[in-house]
Amino acid sequence: MKIKVLGCSGAEFPGHRPPSFLLDSKILFDTGSLTDTLDIKSQLRIKHIFISHPHLDHILGIPFLVENLIFRMKGHRVNILSIPPVIKTIKRSLLDGSIWPDFTVIPNTHAGILNLIALKPGHSIKIGDYTITPYPVHHSIPATGFLVEDKIKRRFFYTGDTGPSDATWGKIGEKQIHCLLIEASFPNRMEDIAIRTGHLTPRLLKKELLKIKPYPERIFVIHIKPQYFKTIKTELQKLKIKGLRLLKDGEIIEI
């Protein structure tokens, strides 16, 4: 497995790009950074996009991607996959024809360039050599993380945006996570707002990690708010958590 980090920040800011992770050039997790980082040939390779939740920094690239693709390759389709509440919101609020054309019915009603697919939480879907399972997380709106497993049982879990959640780790069970992409949006002093909005701080992150058994092999921290970057980095370093480090835009993770 090879993951290209198109963006991993908690906001769009000079030098920081919103979340988007590209698996083996064809499968994308969130679209915060997409058309501003990939050339058209790379965009054309994308077949499946998994969306954690419909906040703007996670769906930003969808409208621009479809506009780029529709005039390039006749018959090209892209699957947008997530749990039912996320799919419903994307259809109702992003692709309703008011702020962007409804590309689920363009170029025609039977062959729209976008195909919206609702996934049942906890139920897996097979794409090539990968088994991908949505596990809901605790956020301010319905949201899901994704557990990805290859044919030799190597796994990574992408949380998307999440606050503290016993249920998520309980449902994943005792599967070894070889690579965990988990957020820490706010510094410790902002714990109240983090919990209220469904996010983590370094201190809350440490508590979450203690819930995961077996312990993840590698932990990459994502979705840091740029204005608090230095503080959060210092607080994470003080925790001295084994196998943990901050992820950077443009990195490539091999699992």
What are the helix and strand counts (H, E) for the chain? 8, 14
Query: For residue 109, what pLDDT is reported?
Result: 62
String of b and e for 174-203 (b: at least 16 CB within 10 Å)?
eeebbbbbbbbbbbbebbeebbeebbbbbb
Count the domains in the chain.
Answer: 1
Q: Is 186 left (phi over 0), alpha (psi -120 to 50) or beta?
A: beta
Query: For residue 92, what pLDDT is reported?
Result: 93
Beta bridge partners of 156: 148, 179
What are the two backbone dihedrals, phi and then psi, of residue 206, each rounded to the nearest 5 degrees?
A: -60, -40
3-state class (DSSP) for residue 72: coil
Query: For residue 73, what pLDDT is reported?
Result: 64
Query: For residue 5, what pLDDT is reported?
Result: 98
Q: Where are the alpha helices (DSSP H) in the chain?
A: 40-45, 56-59, 61-70, 84-89, 166-172, 191-197, 202-209, 229-239
Query: For residue 105, what pLDDT is reported?
Result: 84
Query: For residue 99, what pLDDT is reported?
Result: 87
Q: Splitting the chain (255 residues) into consecutive groups of 10 residues, what average pLDDT does each group show?
A: 97 93 97 95 95 97 91 80 97 89 78 90 97 98 98 98 96 97 98 98 97 97 97 97 95 96
CATH number at residue 31: 3.60.15.10
Residues for the chain: how many in total? 255
Residue 82, judged by CB atoms within 10 A of its CB (0-12, 13-18, 19+), counts as: buried
Q: Which domain holds residue 65?
A: 2-254
Contact 3, 23 (CB under 8 A): yes
Q: Which two tokens stand for residue 7?
A: 């963006």
Nearest to 8, CA basis, from 190, 138, 181, 139: 181
Contact 158, 21 (CB under 8 A): yes
Contact 94, 82 (CB under 8 A): no
Distances from the Cα of 19 to the Cαs of 158, 159, 224, 247, in angstroms?
Answer: 11, 11, 10, 11
